């Protein structure tokens, strides 16, 4: 049985993944702002370092898989900069900090949660994506704050997907037998898209998101994809971005690959 770490484990996709992996007999270490094994704020460098230290201790320094689910949605009331800090730097810095523990597993897997908004939402800020990929957190937060949450969201998730593509093939990761992959979910029914804190008018607008399948996804359906990607059945996947969106990406980009 494996030891898996899940950020954002207290809610939505993270909680569903925690439940799936735990019921399969694995040890799951959850990281979130509250109600998890490790309580940490991944929006700050200090919070990320504290989370890495705590997880390393609880796992005895060996982690077979990491799932980065913690995130703020486009309809959150947080400033765009905070959203970028959690969604991009909270995943990338935390994964990098855990690399020694992942390497010790000798065949680990990291899955980050990107988004289908990366290919469906127009006008994504190239400057914000570039600042993320350059590791310039101060500049990225500044641009995120100027942009506000709705445009900052797809930029943070595009940067995350491109980070996976760039880093997955580098010696620091695959050379240490650590696979990096991403899932790009479409509209999933969780508190992020259907919670009580959302502006009702904006939340209603999400109903117009085109989903050929005819309904929103369920968190359990993303958890099933994540279980595959962190597990032994996906050992050939390295640097892949898997869309799990009921057909939205195929509908909107039929000849674009």
Q: 113-152: which residues touch ligand NAD (CB under 6 A)? A: 113, 115
List of residues 6+ apart from 77 with CB closer than 8 A: 149, 197
Contact 136, 144 (CB under 8 A): no
Q: Which is nearer to ligand NAD, 47 or 105 (CB)?
A: 47
CA of residue 56 relative to chain centroid, distance: 20
14 touches ligand NAD by CB under 6 A: yes
Site membership for ligand NAD, residue 86 (CB under 6 A): yes
Q: Choose, by CB under 6 A, the member of 2, 3, 5, 12 that binds ligand NAD.
A: 12
Residue 174 is a binding residue for ligand NAD (CB under 6 A) = no
Token pair 């994506």: residue: 129
Distance, CA of 62 to CA of 52 (rounded, Å) = 12
Q: Give yes or no for residue 79 binding ligand NAD (CB under 6 A).
A: no
Residue 69 CA to residue 13 CA, distance in Å, equals 7
49 by Cβ neighbours in 10 Å (0-12 / 13-18 / 19+) ranks as middle
Helix (H) or strand (E) holding 29: strand 27-32
Per the annotation, the verdict on 153 as an active-site residue is yes
Residue 182 within binding range of ligand NAD, rule CB under 6 A = no
Nearer of residues 103 and 245 to ligand NAD, judged by Cβ: 245
> With binding defined as CB under 6 A, does residue 188 bind ligand NAD?
yes
List contacts with ligand NAD (CB under 6 A): 8, 10-14, 32-33, 41-43, 69-73, 86-87, 113, 115, 185, 187-188, 190-193
Q: Which residues are catalytic?
A: 153
């Amino acid at each position: 049985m494996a030891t898996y770490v899940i950020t954002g484990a207290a809610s939505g996709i993270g909680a569903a993944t925690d439940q799936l992996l735990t019921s399969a007999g694995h040890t799951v270490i959850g990281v979130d702002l509250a109600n998890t094994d490790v309580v940490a704020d991944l929006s700050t460098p200090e919070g990320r370092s504290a989370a890495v230290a705590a997880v390393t201790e609880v796992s005895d320094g060996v982690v077979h898989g990491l799932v980065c689910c913690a995130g703020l949605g486009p309809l959150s009331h947080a400033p765009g900069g905070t959203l970028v800090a959690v969604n991009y730097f909270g995943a990338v810095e935390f994964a990098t900090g855990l690399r020694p523990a992942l390497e010790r597993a000798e065949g680990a897997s990291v899955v980050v949660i990107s988004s289908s908004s990366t290919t469906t939402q127009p006008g994504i800020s190239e400057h914000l994506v570039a600042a993320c990929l350059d590791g310039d957190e101060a500049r990225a937060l500044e641009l995120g704050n100027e942009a506000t949450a709705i445009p900052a969201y797809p930029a943070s998730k595009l940067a995350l997907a491109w980070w996976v593509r760039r880093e997955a093939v580098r010696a620091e990761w695959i050379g240490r037998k650590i696979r990096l992959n991403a899932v790009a979910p479409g509209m999933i029914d969780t508190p992020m898209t259907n919670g009580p804190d959302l502006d009702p008018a904006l939340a209603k607008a999400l109903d117009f998101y085109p989903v050929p399948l005819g309904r929103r996804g369920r968190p359990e359906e993303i958890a099933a994809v994540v279980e595959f990607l962190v597990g032994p059945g996906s050992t050939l996947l390295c640097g892949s971005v898997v869309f799990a969106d009921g057909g939205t990406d195929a509908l909107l980009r039929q000849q674009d690959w």
